[in-house]
Each structure stands twice: as structure tokens, then as C-alpha cells.
Amino acid sequence: MMQHNSLHVLFLCAGRGTRLHPLTKSVPKPLLSVGETTILERLIRQSLMMLNVESIWVNTSYLPEQICSHLAKMNSKKVNILWEPEILGSALTLSELSKMVAGNILVIHGDLVLSNSYIFDLSQYILAAEKSFMVCHFRDAAHARSVIQVSEDGNVRGLLEQFRIHKGQQVLSNSGIYFFHTNAELSNLEGTDIVNSQIQNLISKNLLGSAIIHQPRVSVDSLYALEQAVILTKSDKLR
């Protein structure tokens, strides 16, 4: 029987990964190789080893048979597939999952390559969490897609998608990882994107905390980033 405070992880893997063409014309981005494993396999193995998960869910829409076959080879009873004939959008996927499981839900974009130390720090935030939070990291303003405004008490106050900050200045940026506490209302989300729906809703109610993690991570959104991800995994092998 699932516990009310159990942890369920959702990996978002339904996108087409067009920025990595031609590599992703025949392979879903989460299945790109990063050394000894794929991006998705590394994330799943890290979660099973370090996050004490009740279940893992992978949504898929683009080339789903490849992801299904890959997960079948992992042979884990905790790993489940959410097939979307048409992409629902991250918010609707989260809403549907919340109707199927009881407990906390951790959402991770399926193109992230995270160091083991990153997963460990994330696990500590989860253990101490009394409410939902979004994960942030510092980066140069010139490369940040959004700026996270955080108050002195650690709550997220706002997200800026358009901003004017001098190059070289460090800002807090969205890491693509969200923890939704069991008391978050997720079953009737409006809109298709998590950030524009549930995250904004929690911010408006002052119910969203922040987790700032400084450990190595790579968002595989370019060929250069993929090269950096391979370098990371070579120096930080799975335990």
C-alpha cells in the first residue's frame, strides 16, 4: 500500500528534441548516449539508488516504442510508462499522474544529466521538505532563460522570462526540476505547462519554496551540451 508521504518521480520525455537534430530524428533525446548509459537510464538508476522512490513514471509521445523497449530492458517493477498519443503538456501530464498516485511528486526534465552529488543534495531537500519547491542554480545572466526571484525566507516570489541584467552577473535560473508536496492541489490544473500553471499558482499563494543546488548538472539542449554531459558522466560514474 502506498504511503501518503511516498515519493513518485515523473520524467518528462515526450518532446521531439528538435534542437539536437539530426541526432534526434531517429532517437528520442532522453535515449541519447552519455558514455556508458543513456540520459534516461542514468536518471532512473540514480533515482532508484538515491531517492527512495515508490514509483517512477516516464511520459512518452515521440518514438514511444524506443523508450518502451529501453525501459523494458531495465526490468524494474517501479518504472511505468505514460504514453501520450498527442502530447498533453507537462501540466496535464502531472495532473493525470496525481490522480493515479498518492504522495509527493518529483518532476524532472528528461534531458538533464545530473552528478551523483547533485542527486544527493536533492534528496536532502526532499527529506526536509514541508511544502513544494522548485530547484534553481546560479548561472551567468547571458545564458539564463529565466530568472528566479527568491525572498530571504527561501520562498519563490516570481519568475522573469524577459530581463535586463549585465553579462557576467550571476542570477538564479530554473533547473527544470520541481517537487510537489502531497498537499499541493494537482488534479485540476489549467494550461499545458507546469511553470505557467501550478508553479505560478503556488507562487501566488506563497506556497513555493526554493532549492539551490550548486553541484554539476547539464541540460542537454545542444550538441555542445551533449559533449559536456559525456565529460561529466566519465568523471562521475554511477555507483
Convert the pLDDT of each residue in 169-214 to its tens digit: 888 999 999 999 997 888 666 668 999 889 999 999 999 999 999 9
The answer to whether 146 and 174 have CB atoms below 8 angstroms apart is yes
The answer to whether 231 and 211 have CB atoms below 8 angstroms apart is no
State pLDDT tens for residues 83-112: 999 998 999 999 999 999 999 999 999 999
- Residue 208 belongs to what domain range? 7-235
> Quick check: is 85 in a domain?
yes
Q: Compute the distance between CA of residue 117 and CA of residue 83 in angstroms, rounded to an integer.
A: 31
> Quick check: is 134 in a domain?
yes
Say which residue, 185 or 232, is predicted with more confidence: 232
Q: Where are the alpha helices (DSSP H) in the chain?
A: 39-50, 64-74, 90-98, 116-128, 200-204, 223-235
> Quick check: is 1 in a domain?
no
Q: For position 162, which CATH number holds?
A: 3.90.550.10
> Quick check: is 151 in a domain?
yes
Residues 140-161, mean pLDDT to the nearest whole number:
87
> Quick check: is 161 in a domain?
yes
Region of 191 (left: φ > 0; alpha: ψ -120 to 50; beta: rest) is left
The answer to whether 30 and 110 have CB atoms below 8 angstroms apart is yes
How many domains are there within the chain? 1
The model's pTM is: 0.94
The answer to whether 180 and 189 have CB atoms below 8 angstroms apart is no
Q: Compute the distance between CA of residue 182 and CA of residue 103 in angstroms, rounded to an integer.
A: 5
> Quick check: is 2 in a domain?
no
Confidence of residue 237 (pLDDT cuts 50, 70, 90): very high
